[in-house]
Amino acid sequence: MLRRPLGKTGLQVSVLSYGASSLGAVFHAVNEDDGIRAVHTALDLGINFIDVSPFYGLTKAETVLGKALKGVARDRYILATKAGRYGADAFDFSARRVTKSVDESLARLGVDHVDLIQCHDIEFGDLKQVVDETIPALRRLREAGKVKFIGVTGLPLPALQYVVERTHVDTILSYCRYSLNDTGLESLLPLLRQKNVGVINASPLSMGLLTDRGAPDWHPAGPEIRAACAAAAELCRHRGTDIAKLAVQYSVACPEIATTLVGTASPEYIRNNIQWCEQPMDGDLLHDVLEILKPIANKTWPSGRPENN
Ligand code: NAD
């Protein structure tokens, strides 16, 4: 699989990468053995970057991922996890908590270091604290050899911009902002390019909106976005294809995005996703799908503290 540089980290990441939230059964119940096979399938077919968090399944995703990675050579994968978010409404970006959190993640994952540690969903915290306290604490962990690079994740682009403009981070992870229905992330790319910050795009299927199954009940999108995405999925079905295919192809095509994280605990889905990104996009279908999605293009939803949106 094609690889791209991740900012100035020196890492070369596969354009499609594996998001392990599904291993924590965040979308629907999953079979652990399937999840482990999905991880192995991803690695065998050329994915080399994996992202997880203690929040996913309230530590379950890290635990299952740790089982999957047992016995896999450490140089076969680049591993990212997060710190600061521990539940739907449980956030703690203090130096003390994130420092402890990294040790807990290393134990669950069964590794002695992670390649990337990210402050998870910073818009729920005090951004000044993230800059002045959380990131400096993570830098001390880098000196201790427990993490190699440092990043931040979140939905509202102003929150990511705030941090990038005030301190050095190696990466940002943005989600649901570069997919068929929303390319809002484009507005942040010039700043990220200027600062040479590695760009990780997550959720090319907009957390299920761009699938035949549709989004789960907890999905924050309103009825207008859901209906437009369902209509686009219906058009793809009608043309004998799957909207997930077009969605994956669309997100990985942007050369300024180092990698796009797709999540699934299904070996079949991950195999499809990987094969799809090596096939050409259907330009006519893309045109028609974007027409359907035009009325909701770049429409997102609020996340976190109002002042961080
Ligand atoms: P996604 O857009 O990748 O969609 C996942 C959903 O799509 C799951 O229900 C999955 O079963 C389904 N799916 C996957 N492949 C499919 C296929 N080929 N056909 C049909 N359905 C398919 O959303 P996601 O999982 O939320 O995002 C991917 C990863 O990005 C996460 O696992 C996580 O690692 C990361 N992420 C991080 C943040 C953050 O840091 N705040 C937020 C969102 C996502």
Average confidence score pLDDT of the chain: 97
Here the tokens at position 153 are: 């994740």
* Among 53, 157, 261, residue to substitute to test ligand 1 (most atoms within 8 Å of Cβ): 261
Q: Ligand 1, atom 37: nearest CA belongs to which residue?
A: 202
Q: Is the pTM of this model over 0.85?
A: yes
DSSP bridge partners of 87: 90
Q: What is the pLDDT of residue 92?
A: 98
* Among 91, 252, 262, residue to substitute to test ligand 1 (most atoms within 8 Å of Cβ): 262
Q: Contact 114/82 with Cβ under 8 angstroms?
A: no
Check if 204 has its Cβ closer than 6 Å to any atom of ligand 1.
yes
Give the DSSP H or E segment for 146: none
Spatial neighbors of 107 by CB under 8 A, at least 6 apart, are none
Phi, psi of 77 (to 5 degrees): -140, 150
- State the distance from the centre of ligand 1 to the C-alpha of 58, rounded, in angstroms: 17
Residue 267 half-sphere exposure, CB side, CA atoms within 13 Å?
14
**E-strand spans in the chain?**
3-5, 12-14, 16-19, 49-51, 78-83, 85-87, 90-91, 114-119, 147-154, 171-175, 198-202, 259-263
| Confidence check: pLDDT of 28 > 90 | no
What is the C-alpha separation between 147 and 116, in angstroms, rounded?
6
Q: What is the pLDDT of residue 27?
A: 72
Check if 13 has its Cβ closer than 6 Å to any atom of ligand 1.
no
Chain segment 267-289, per-residue pLDDT in tens: 999 999 999 999 999 999 999 99
Q: What is the pLDDT of residue 212?
A: 95
Check if 153 has its Cβ closer than 6 Å to any atom of ligand 1.
yes
| Confidence check: pLDDT of 10 > 80 | yes
Which CATH topology does 3-208+247-281 take? TIM Barrel (3.20.20)
- pLDDT category of residue 108 using cuts at 50, 70 and 90: very high
DSSP bridge partners of 12: 5
Check if 81 has its Cβ closer than 6 Å to any atom of ligand 1.
no
Chain segment 42-88, per-residue pLDDT in tens: 999 999 999 999 999 999 999 999 999 999 999 999 999 999 999 99
22-25: Cβ within 8 A, 24+ apart: 22/61, 22/263, 22/264, 22/265, 23/52, 23/56, 23/57, 23/60, 23/61, 23/64, 23/65, 23/68, 23/265, 24/56, 24/57, 24/58, 24/59, 24/60, 24/61, 24/62, 24/64, 25/57, 25/60, 25/265
Ligand 1, residue 118: give the atom nearest the CA. Answer: 40
Check if 138 has its Cβ closer than 6 Å to any atom of ligand 1.
no
Please state the domain extents for the chain: 3-208+247-281
Residue 75 half-sphere exposure, CB side, CA atoms within 13 Å?
0
What is the C-alpha separation between 50 and 66, in angstroms, rounded?
12
Answer yes or no: 269 catalytic: no
Any idea which residue has 């549709």 for tokens? 214
- State the distance from the centre of ligand 1 to the C-alpha of 196, rounded, in angstroms: 26
